[in-house]
Structure 1
Amino acid sequence: MSLIKNNRFFIPAPDDESDFKAIFHQMARIGAGRPVDEKGIPEGPWTAELLTDAISRIDANRSGVELRTVQRWFENNDTGISTENIRWLARVFGCEDPSAISQWQIVLSKAQARLMEQRRERKRAEICNIAESTHVGVDGKLEPTRKSLAGKCEWLLTGAASMNLLILYWLVFGALGLLNYALGTLSVTYSPEADLEKQVGFIWAPTLTVLPLIVLPLYIMSINNLISFWKNGARSQCNSEDDQLDFREGRDGWMSRVKSFSFSFWAIVLFSLFFVFGFQWAGIYLPAYMSGDTGGVQVDRYLVALSRPEVISIPEAILLSAVGYQYTASYIAVFLLGLLFIVIVTLDYCEVAETPMRSNLSTTVSAIRDAGKKIVWGSYRLAIFGLWLATLIKLQIVYLSSDGEDFLRWLSLDATASLGLTANQNGWLDNSSVSHFTTFLMMVVTVATFGFCVAKVRGILAKLPQDTGKDRFEQDRYSIACMSAVIALLSANLLLVGRFEGFSLLLALSAIASIHVINGSKSSQT
């Protein structure tokens, strides 16, 4: 049955179980909602161009609709229609009649839901078929699924796996503690100078206590929070066709982005294996054990065997140092992977936001703005914890170059001397460490990554329609300034550790400032 409503060709909304594609193709073919001539005959079927123009001419639709979006409706695919576009299409098919528009909205919404359910069923069937064809071996036994390195890293740092990783680090920390206790290096001193007993034991090393117990877990949890926030919700909300994407398709898009960085994942793993572990252990520590001479390298809990063989033997020290540097290489890899994921999330955000940013859909624009702010805050937290990770390494190596008796007395003497409470000052030993350059690189990469994230996100948000509300990104310059100031303070703190009398006070100020801004981020979120 057809009628004429408002000089347009009206077709009542069908009451059947057809999906969106079937209903849309039928209505487009017969020209439902098109203008009619003096005989009541529609001017012809809808084309993508004509329908795009008709929707864009609706007074209430200020943002219009993209031609490419409408073209997808005409194509023979699984692409559906967003909730906002259902509203405009219902007005076209309903010929601007309130009652008809309401009925068409209901029908189109149900048809869209049926299309999505059909697509999910097909996906599940495809997954079952793939499982049957690829995971059953020639002997009839199930074979494990193989993941790429990028997929394994993403899995390891998100969801329950990230908590398992934290627990693993804590267990390794306990195991190393027990091993050092058994070998006698939990607390051990050596004499680099006359009348000086310098503490180099396990429990006096911040890289083996504060770092794995506090800073590294916070860093891993921040990685998990950022990735989970983006891939499990914000990514689809920032897509102009978010109603067309189910959870699996959204995750597949994210994983495709992650896998495109496969080279970077391999580079990080190989760097950590061959440089952090291989170069430092096999290239520095092992030759020292073989020759019996440190060669000017800092004496720590591993090399103390050269001067205190009665406490720990050379073979025991070789084993302990190998395990210790594998442990170090693992958390350096986690550090670099966290920065890589900041880059991946930021680039994915920029690409996903491009289409809805051009169409200016109000709900999607709001989601883009909110997601951008949270990504900036997430990258800031990672930068803070990353800089503290590097700072703890720097503190350890600078302490080993000092004549401080133990780590706490070294910091305490610096603070009291700078305040004029004592005439004593810290001195220095004649040794060196390659980790000075390592921590500098860690700082540079961290700051550069944070700056990249802020610049890219602000570039996207600057293109969005601006409003006068309090959520406007440009009104958050104070928050960005605070973040930048703390990043600069922590960077200066890292560079100046041990460089002047009173560096411990700057260290305390950096800790207070970073904690203050991080706590503030929980309520403000930019």
Structure 2
Amino acid sequence: MEKNGKIFVPPPADGSDFKELFKKMAAAGAGRPLGEDGFPQGPWTPELLADAISKIDANRVGVDLRTVQLWFQENDKGISPANIRWLARIFGCDDREATNEWLNELSSAQARLTARRRDQKKTGGSTATALRVPDTSAPEKNQVPLTPVVSVDLQTKPAERPRGLAIKTEAIFSHGSHLNLPAWIFAGSSALGFLSYILGIHSITYVRSDGIEKQVGFLWAPNWTFLFMVLLPLFFAVVIELLGFWKHDGRLRLLAEADRVRSSDAWTLHLQANSQAYWAVFLICILFAGVVQWIGVQLIPLLEQAQDFAPSWGTIGIIRPDILSTPAAIVFTALAYLYMSTSFYLLFAGLILLHTIIHDLWKLKRGTELVGEQRAWPDTSEIGLRIMRGVFRCSVLVVLAAICMKAQSAYLASQGPDFVTWLVRDVWAALADYDDGDRTFDYIMPTHYSSLLVVLSTCSVFVYGAIRLGDDRRLRSPLWKMSAVIGLLFVSYMLIDAFDGFSVLLIVTALIATYGLFDPAFEPAWRAREIRGDSRVS
């Protein structure tokens, strides 16, 4: 039968469990598109089915190939409620009525598989000798009551969610495309760059009282360009990908069949438990780092035409009023600090989400250990390694961002004419035993303090994850290597401008950390395949 240009097979309703039903439908190629000649193209393969499910528009996470492969294998692994929905879409050929019929049939088949496995545990029977539970209108003694299946809206209407700052913040990371948040951060920084170019402060110099000509243009400041245009978008992309994996795949693998339906509610409770942390971060970032810092560092000096801070693109109007007027500087700096404080709130919120994911995994792993379900341990190792790789990538990106902040602040107080020349002179001083004569000017540098808070917060999340998940022997070697890189980055941050030649250590560490973004475990490809091969997913 053909429906929407695909092969449609009606639900057989023959009392088969999920394994039997899926085997028949996969062999029949149910839901596969017809060929150009109008004939069937053949049965499903794991690769084809995984690709078809991942291409469903409403499925933002997709499905892991290993998960689909388990459906094809002779084992007791079933299917999660989330994947039942997508498989019903495939077998139902994207027809609403047919999808509802298949959703009912697959849910019933999964319930029969669950009942059969429960009977096997009671009787000690094998998979081959287990009796199949008949599909009758009256549930038998060992049959799991089926939840009535409601009509599925293929347009995927958004469900009502609890309110609160934690829930709304998490929705920014988890709803919509993975590119939305990184794109907005990049767009905001680009808009500020264009605005600075219009105002003429994108590249501007002034002569300091000691005769040094300093470049303080907006586009020359790595803490406003490289940080917001490269590092933060990458950070948010990693957090979003890791959050989606944990909510829709990793977490479900470690839950029993009966708990998977309530997985979303349990995750929401974890978010709400951290609501005070979100509010604390919101107040610190918006009120203090945003409003109070803008008033103290930008507004008051501009109004009084005097300052104790190092001149920058925001206060250049005090020294060169011919370039930037005071009203224009006030408006531009207000927009810049609003953008900065909002971005850093989202950054700290991302760190809280990473902490929540680690804590959630640790609790599930500990619960598995207490009940003695050793079958879940391979899943825990694979999931834990993937999560720690993501946490490591995020930590590297944030520490690099803090390095940009502190390095820019140190440059403004140095005798270097521009940021690049300042670093080159320091490298030359280390390699050629040359005294570049650089002496720090006496300025107040609040960015040193704020960047330190960023580094300590990030390292705390990574250390927490290493402690909670480090008891798994498969993770110990990768975690030691990741910890060494994070420690080296922290030392490099602390030693910025501490001695001549600090930039050599900084550059070498940055290169190692950049490589770690591509290979967080610092392992050869064959070792990574071995770890994945030893793991099982459900």
Q: CA deviation at 1:250?
A: 2.0
The 5 A counterparts of 1:376-387 are 376-387=388-399
- The C-alpha deviation readout for 1:453-485, integer Å capped at 9, x for no partner, is 111123xxx4xxxxxxxxxx3254332221111
Match of 2:468 in 1: 456
CA contact (8 A) 1:305 1:313 kept: yes
1:498 equivalent in structure 2: 497
Alignment of 1:3-42 (within 5 A): none
CA offset digits 1:243-282 (Å, max 9, x no partner): 6524xx3222212211221111111111111111112111
Residue 272 (1) aligns with residue 285 (2): yes
Quick check: 2:115–2:143 contact (8 Å CA) kept in 1? Answer: no
Q: Which of 124, 131, 139 is 1:103 aligned to?
A: 131
Give the aligned partner of residue 264 of structure 2: 251
- Flag the 1:96–1:390 CA change in 2: closer, same or farther, 3 A: closer
Aligned to 1:188: 204
1:163-215 deviation line (CA, Å, top 9, x unaligned): 21211122222211121111110101111134321000011000121111211
Q: String of CA shifts for 1:126-172, please: whole Å, max 9, x gaps.
A: x99x98xxx9xxxxxxxxx7742212211112353552121112222
- Partners of 1:238 and 1:368 within 8 A in 2: yes
| Alpha-carbon contact 1:18-1:111 (below 8 Å) kept | no
Structure 1 partner of 2:119: 89
Q: Tell me, yes or no, if structure 1 residue 170 matches structure 2 residue 170.
A: no
Asked whether the 8 Å contact 1:211–1:392 carries over to 2, the reply is yes
Amino acid at match of 2:273: S
Decide whether aligned partners of structure 1 residues 96 and 298 sit closer, same or farther in structure 2, where only a CA change above 3 A counts. closer
Q: CA deviation at 1:333?
A: 1.1
Taking structure 1 as reference, are residues 117 and 89 closer, same or farther at Cα in structure 2, changes over 3 Å only?
Answer: closer
Distance in 2 (CA, whole Å) between partners of 1:106 and 1:431 is: 81
Q: Which residues of structure 1 form unaligned runs of 5+?
A: 1-14, 20-77, 136-144, 463-472
- Pick the aligned partner of 2:303 from 269, 278, 290: 290
Partner of 1:149: 165
Distance 2:111 2:367 in 1: 15
Tell whether the 8 Å contact from 2:133 to 2:143 is kept in structure 1 after alignment.
no
Mapping of residues 474-513 of structure 1, within 5 Å: 474-513=473-512
SS of the residue 1:198 aligns to: strand
User: Kindly tell me: are residues 117 and 413 of structure 1, through their superposed partners in 2, closer, same or farther at Cα, counting changes over 3 Å?
Assistant: farther
Change (3 A) 1:385 1:98: closer
Aligned-partner residue type, residue 121 of structure 1: V
CA distance in 2, matches of 1:212, 1:220: 11
**Conservation of the 8 A alpha-carbon contact between 1:285 and 1:303:** yes
1:349 and 1:189, CA in 2 relative to 1: closer, same or farther beyond 3 A? same
Distance in structure 1 (CA, Å) of the matches to 2:446 and 2:14: 73
Letter in 1 for 2:147: Q
Partner of residue 514, structure 2: 515
**Is the CA contact 1:116–1:244 (under 8 Å) kept in the aligned structure 2?**
no
1:242 aligns with 2:257: yes
Q: Does residue 1:121 correspond to 2:176, yes or no?
A: no
Residues in 1 aligned to 2:139 and 2:247: alpha-carbon distance in whole angstroms: 27
- Secondary structure, aligned partner of 1:190: strand
Task: Please give the residue correspondences for 1:36-51 in structure 2 after superposition, counting only pairs within 5 Å.
Answer: none
* Larger deviation, residues 400-409 vs 512-521: 512-521
CA distances 1:387-433 after superposition (whole Å, capped 9, x unpaired): 11111111111111111100100101100111117543322222111
The worse-fitting range, judged by mean Cα deviation, of 115-124 and 431-440 is 115-124
Question: What's the secondary structure of 2:182's corresponding residue?
Answer: helix
Corresponding position of 1:390: 402
SS in 2 for 1:118: coil
SS in 2 for 1:193: coil
Specify whether residues 302 and 82 from structure 1 end up closer, same or farther in structure 2 by C-alpha distance, changes over 3 A only. Answer: farther
Q: What SS is found at the alignment partner of 2:500?
A: coil
Q: Deviations over 1:331-356 (max 9, x none)?
A: 22122112111211112112223333
Which residue is equivalent to 1:360? 372
Out of 208, 211, 221, which is 2:227 matched to? 211
> What is aligned with 2:383?
371
Matched, 1:400 2:416: no
* 2:442 is the alignment partner of 1:430: yes
Q: Tell whether 2:275 aligns with 1:262.
A: yes
**Code of the aligned partner of 1:290:** L
Partners of 2:16 and 2:132 within 8 A in 1 = no
Q: Is the 8 A contact 1:90 1:104 kept in 2?
A: no
Letter in 2 for 1:485: A
Unpaired stretches in structure 2, ≥5 consecutive residues: 1-12, 18-107, 532-538
Would the alpha carbon gap of residues 199 and 515 (structure 1) be closer, same or farther in structure 2, given more than 3 Å must change?
same
Aligned to 2:39: none
Root mean square deviation, CA, Å: 3.4
What amino acid is aligned across from residue 377 of structure 1 in structure 2?
R
Q: Deviations over 1:102-139 (max 9, x none)?
A: 3336879x989996862553999xx99x98xxx9xxxx
**Higher Rg of the two aligned structures:** 1
1-side partners of 2:149 and 2:508: how far apart?
A: 54
Q: Is the contact made by 2:392 and 2:520 (CA closer than 8 Å) also made in structure 1?
A: no
- Report sequence identity in percent: 24
Give the TM-score taking structure 2 as reference length.
0.70
The 5-angstrom pairing of residues 324-335 of structure 1 reads 324-335=336-347
Q: What letter corresponds to residue 150 of structure 1 in structure 2?
A: A
Give the counterpart letter for 1:395 in structure 2: A
